Amino acid sequence: MHIYRHTSYALPILLLLCLFWTAPLLAQSYTREQYLSLIESYVARTVNIYDGNWAYSYTVHDRLDAESVTRRIDPSKPFLQSDQLVAINGQAPSAERRDQHERRMQRRLRRRENADRRSLVDEEREREGSEKERFLNLIIRDSVRLVKQEGDLHTLEFRGMEEDRRAIYEHLTGLLVLDTRNEYIRELQIRVHEPFSPYFIMRINSGYFSLRFELVDGVPMQSDATWQLDGHVLFVRDLDRDQEVEWFDVEYTGSEPAS
């Protein structure tokens, strides 16, 4: 009777252990072609808030400058009002900083007006509209491989290439974190895997970029990013960056950018 009592407890415990230990084995796996198909589908679902139909705010936290800058972008407004400086370190910007921002916007407007071929507005919109296609085209398909899986989160490593940027891309490695349950890209990472000199006078020692997404009303949308860079030009100009970016208050305007 004593032996039976222990056996009766051991059986359900054994079953629970088998259930938990085999759960990872039951998670769905994919072939490389299936992963590529998922990437294409998830990229297509992701909202591009830079396509001229979205207003948004963003804050850049610069660790090196110990400063946070918040701006509001609304392409439905006239150009000079479409990019507003909102806050510096959580406070209203000084008159000097507002003047600097306004002068920068005036220079950008003059460059648009003085374009001697197509307007820069059209060029920017064309570039923004093709960003998804460009990203998909740069992925080296044979390089895609699964490096980690935790339930429905699949982390894929990949390499990319564009011929006119070969000197840069051959030193970069990318990661994509796919959420197959909610069908979107959770995170994109790009890392410099070895120091390199894209140009004779420039040196990049290390670099890391992470762009993270979240679902907003069921739609994948960028939420925050990390950017770190260690580099220099001629040992004189410092290229170092250590920034966090947050996007918020995203609103659909449904309008074409105002001229």
Q: What is the pLDDT of residues 37-74, one digit of tens each?
A: 999 999 999 999 998 899 999 999 999 999 999 999 99
- Can you say whether the dihedral through the CA atoms of 152, 155, 161, 162 is positive or negative? positive
- Domain boundaries, given as residue ranges, for the chain: 31-252
Band (254; pLDDT cuts 50, 70, 90): confident
| Neighbouring residues of 250: CB distance < 8 A, sequence distance ≥ 6 | 49, 54, 55, 56, 216, 221
Taking only the tens place, the pLDDT of each residue in 214-230 is: 999 999 999 999 999 99
Q: Which of 64-78, 84-98, 191-205 has the lowest mean pLDDT?
A: 191-205
- Cβ(139)–Cβ(160) below 8 Å: yes
User: Mean pLDDT throughout 188-195?
Assistant: 97
Residue 145 and residue 185: Cα distance in Å, rounded? 16
Tokens of 116: 């001697």
pTM (predicted TM-score):
0.81
pLDDT at 178 over 50: yes
Q: What is the pLDDT of residues 112-167, one digit of tens each?
A: 888 754 555 555 555 544 789 999 999 999 999 999 999 999 999 999 999 889 99
The pLDDT of residue 124: 53
CB atoms within 10 A of CB 204: 20
Q: Is the pLDDT of residue 27 over 50?
A: yes
Give the residue among 72, 97, 98, 68 at the shortest CA–CA distance from 83.
Answer: 72
Of 21-25, 33-37, 47-51, give the range with the top mean pLDDT: 33-37
Q: Largest Cα–Cα distance in the chain?
A: 95
More confident residue, 233 or 258: 233
- Indicate the helix (H) or strand (E) that contains 204: strand 202-216
Phi, psi of 202 (to 5 degrees): -115, 145
DSSP assignment of 92-111 equals PPPHHHHHHHHHHHHHHHHH
Percent of the chain with pLDDT over 70: 81
pLDDT above 80 (res 17): no
Handedness of CA 197, 189, 193, 144 (dihedral sign): negative
Predicted pLDDT at 16: 40
pLDDT by residue (tens digit) across 227-237? Answer: 999 999 876 67
Average model confidence (pLDDT) across the chain: 86
The DSSP secondary structure of the chain, one letter per residue, reads -HHHHHHHHHHHHHHHHHHHHHHHHHS----HHHHHHHHHHHHHHS--TTSSSEEEEEEEEETTTTEEEEEEE-TTS-GGGSEEEEEETTBPPPHHHHHHHHHHHHHHHHHHHT-SSS-HHHHHHHHHHTHHHHHHHHB-GGG-EEEEEETTEEEEEE-B--GGGHHHHTTEEEEEEEETTTTEEEEEEEEE-S-B-SSTTEEEEEEEEEEEEEEETTEEEEEEEEEEEEEEETTTEE--EEEEEEEEEEEE--SPPP-
| Whole-number percent of the chain with pLDDT over 90 | 69
Residue among 42, 43, 39 nearest 30 (CA):
39
Per-residue model confidence (pLDDT) at position 8 = 47
